[in-house]
Structure 1
Amino acid sequence: MTTPIVARRRAFTTYLYSLHSGLSSSTSHRVSESRQVLARLRRSFGGPRQQAEAYELVFARNPPESEQEVWLLVAGLFALHPQPRRNTRSLGASMRKLSTMRGASVDRRFTQLLARDREALAHQLRQTIRLLDSEDVPVDYDQLLDDLAVLLGDRFRDDSAQRIRLRWARDYHYRPEPRESTEDTPAPADAH
């Protein structure tokens, strides 16, 4: 059973994902509206006045008071890299996929992302999302919102935040061993 706060987060990210689907709508009015909303959300990074333009869009979705800034950030990040809903596990998994495309230069960026403190994390995330957008690497915004609610919220100093960073690192660094072809491997003999 999902908690009420998780259900509110999912309703919010569903709204964000609907903006992406609106971009490919057959209705020109919906396409135009989605573009305008995404532009307002992207501009929210420009400063206080521009962020105030995004308040209506985010606060209409009823964010918990303790997560208002996180929801504004995630809305802006989504607007930088709108996409359909995809499950990628974590931001670490998205960065791992990017590293297969761009090589070792992503290692340094990922390490910087993990090392950022609460105050600098939002800026680093904007750069990371732009980089992921440049290669069309998917981001799971449902999971990102959950993770950032901890990393940027009141619990940023407890074990929950450390577990999120460890999950990102594990998803980034873990490379499963390639499976051996079963064609060359003899079938096991029956043990009768």
Structure 2
Amino acid sequence: MSDHAQSFVAHLSELAEHDRGALAHLRRSLGFAPGAFPRAYPYVERFVGADRHASDPWRKALYLAAGLFALHPEHREGETLASALGALARARESASIEQRFIALLGAEPESLPNLLRQAVSLLAADGHACDYARLLDDLGIWLRPFDGEGRDRIRQRWARDFYRAYDAKADQDPSDLDTIQPAD
């Protein structure tokens, strides 16, 4: 994960400790297109970079990650969003979380913010944390227009992370994998 993403999450963590009003503005920004809520600008724009335009994918990723962090400010390095959702689905024995995750994997950039907000809300309800720096880096790729290949790489990695956490059998010896039956 990038140093820039890590420093941004450190900034968000500082806000979570010292500025509840900032988190309220960032949460409220989730009701708008990423980067379109002026009250969020003071907390994010300094990380955007002068050479980036208003519709730059990295700028949108920063605003989206900030809003999601504000919704559930529990950061755990190394715990991807997908693995946290997989662990939650396993703990709840919930096929509906798996279905929501599959919908998230199929999301186009326009529908991604709403589906991510729902996913983070599920994590918050059960106290599961995720790695927001890694999420930010992934969003920077996912939100690029015309980068289907990059988006597919992220989707495939998220699917692996989810199903490794969701399926306890994934921890078995690889030689036993031919005996594992797909879940219904």
TM-score, shorter chain, exceeding 0.5: yes
What amino acid does structure 2 have at the position aligned with 1:106?
Answer: I
Q: Per-residue CA shift, 1:64-109, capped at 9, x if unaligned?
A: 6231111111100000000144321x22201111102222221111
SS at match of 2:110: helix
Mapped to 1, the partners of 2:62 and 2:85 lie a distance apart of 22
* Partners of 2:15 and 2:23 within 8 A in 1: yes
Aligned to 1:82: 73
1:38 correspondence with 2:28: no
1:102 correspondence with 2:92: yes
SS at match of 1:18: helix
Mapped to 2, the partners of 1:70 and 1:94 lie a distance apart of 20
1:11: Cα distance to partner? 1.4
Mapped to 2, the partners of 1:50 and 1:127 lie a distance apart of 20
The structure number with the bigger radius of gyration is 1
1:72 correspondence with 2:63: yes
TM-score by length of 2: 0.79
Taking a change above 3 Å as real, the CA distance of residues 87 and 19 of structure 1, as seen in their structure-2 partners, is: farther
What RMSD in Å do the two structures reach over aligned CA positions? 2.2
State which of 60, 67, 84 in structure 1 corresponds to 2:46: 60
1:50: Cα distance to partner? 7.7
Aligned to 2:131: 140
Q: Per-residue CA shift, 1:40-64, capped at 9, x if unaligned?
A: 1111123479811001110123446
Aligned to 2:171: 177
1:160 correspondence with 2:150: yes
Taking a change above 3 Å as real, the CA distance of residues 59 and 111 of structure 1, as seen in their structure-2 partners, is: same
What amino acid does structure 2 have at the position aligned with 1:92?
Answer: A
SS at match of 1:118: coil
SS at match of 1:105: helix
Mapped to 2, the partners of 1:171 and 1:15 lie a distance apart of 26
Mapped to 1, the partners of 2:78 and 2:171 lie a distance apart of 22
Show structure 1 runs of 5+ residues with no match: 23-29, 180-192
Aligned to 1:114: 105
RCO higher in structure (CA 8 A, sep ≥6): 2
Taking a change above 3 Å as real, the CA distance of residues 129 and 115 of structure 1, as seen in their structure-2 partners, is: same
Taking a change above 3 Å as real, the CA distance of residues 143 and 47 of structure 1, as seen in their structure-2 partners, is: closer
Give aligned-pair identity as a percent: 35
Show structure 2 runs of 5+ residues with no match: 174-184
Mapped to 2, the partners of 1:150 and 1:50 lie a distance apart of 20
Aligned residues, how many?
162
Mapped to 2, the partners of 1:83 and 1:177 lie a distance apart of 26
* Partners of 2:61 and 2:136 within 8 A in 1: yes
TM-score by length of 1: 0.76
Taking a change above 3 Å as real, the CA distance of residues 138 and 167 of structure 1, as seen in their structure-2 partners, is: same
